[in-house]
Structure 1
């Protein structure tokens, strides 16, 4: 019998190592795969696109916000992996009637490394988890050396249109922006993903860069043109949303991507 606490402080007790996993978060599905847990993953969401072959080999149990409870119950999971931001409290409470629901809460790099270490303990993959922690720390240090001489640029990171919404404070995206020496002009807003009036962009910070994320909204050149009209000189850049918002093992790829992004901006 082993007892663990998830990132919300909820205590979970397991008689054995959980063998049947349902993952409700795309980036965490990728991490579980990278930790060598492919055989244990029995259910994923329709948004879990990495690794690609999971679409045909794993049971799809709905989305991140709307899950198919009966499909999950029939999979007889030992554990369900959720996330405070991606999944609603209501969904977590419902699923808790099926089996333990492990909830992660990721805002900082430290939170991310804690999640990886926790999974290593939880699923008896300590060595694999430590390898990923070491690799991410090394890549982060390497990136800090790369970024240290780059000028600070003011940015607005858009995640949605109609209405326009941006990444605000207390988000993993905002942490990634900070790593890149990007100063988020909406960091002082109370909401994590505030709805904004684009006509006020100049007075709210007048960004040097407008970043249009590839997910969850499919931005077009028309959006880029419209947004550009309400700044003095901002350059609009389409960016890979997975690199800014996916935690877990994805950070290794993200740091390489950020270097290329800076080269293209320069």
Structure 2
């Protein structure tokens, strides 16, 4: 059978048969595989793959996105492994290549990239009609976003503390936020020399902080709470800044979650 789909690593994949056994090391991809109707073929997932909650509990855990249990995966005899460039360690993936026949690499960087992600998974696992339906739903959301005008805001999107960590502008998160005219600070890109895609900083050494209108505390990977928000609100260095909690899954999970995520951001921005 001729290859039909090319993944983010440039590898062409043939259409899998009905007996494909899939292990996903990417939480948002796991959710998307279920949305494509692949329930019976998903045999392994990480402990962070928690959606859809009523279905993932039936799937064997194989460690985390970084701390992967190779022996657990080997015992499942997968035909396909789904990984992501940002979320999984390259060395681990190379070890898995020794016994997993097909490794599918994903790397969506913008909301629009989800359209090609749906098509990729749909082509590999023979779910093209389901993938097309997801694409139509996301395209509707993206058109809705494009027709609305939002006031420009500079935002600091926090994903970690001790040390404080945020996102560069070439991340999927930053691209999602731009749909509602929210622009992340600092204005850095991970592809630039010496720059990180998820840079650390200190509030006392961040001259760009003066340009921040809004501070967003994500619910993941660090679970910021109301107590963290209240503590920052008392910090004199952040006076006049709007500080609020935000659902990290809605902003950072690609795949099927992007459909709901775009709607979530539109609602948040409209209420601002």
Instruction: Tell me which interval the TM-score lies in, with the shorter structure as reference length.
Output: over 0.9
Q: How many residues align?
A: 263
1:219 maps to 2:220: no
Distance in structure 1 (CA, Å) of the matches to 2:98 and 2:65: 18
1:48 alignment partner in structure 2: 49
Distance in structure 2 (CA, Å) of the matches to 1:236 and 1:129: 37
1:196 maps to 2:208: no
Q: Secondary structure at the match of 1:101?
A: strand
1:260 alignment partner in structure 2: 267
Distance in structure 2 (CA, Å) of the matches to 1:128 and 1:156: 36
TM-score (norm 1): 0.92
Q: Does the C-alpha gap of structure 1 residues 12 and 256 become closer, same or farther in structure 2, counting only changes over 3 Å?
A: closer
Distance in structure 1 (CA, Å) of the matches to 2:12 and 2:258: 28
Distance in structure 2 (CA, Å) of the matches to 1:235 and 1:110: 29
Distance in structure 2 (CA, Å) of the matches to 1:250 and 1:177: 15
Q: Deviations over 1:63-107 (max 9, x none)?
A: 000111111111111100010001011111011112121110110
Q: Secondary structure at the match of 1:139?
A: helix
1:162 alignment partner in structure 2: 162
Task: Report how far residue 224 of structure 1 moved.
Answer: 2.5
**1:172-183, aligned counterparts within 5 Å?**
172-183=172-183
Say what the alpha-carbon RMSD is for the aligned residues: 1.8
Q: Secondary structure at the match of 1:127?
A: helix
Q: Decide whether the 8 Å contact of 1:65 with 1:87 is kept in 2.
A: yes
Match of residue 117, structure 1, among 106, 116, 119: 119
Task: Report how far residue 262 of structure 1 moved.
Answer: 2.0
Gaps of 5+ in 1: none
Gaps of 5+ in 2: 190-194
Distance in structure 2 (CA, Å) of the matches to 1:109 and 1:56: 28
Deviates more, 1:237-246 or 1:95-104: 95-104
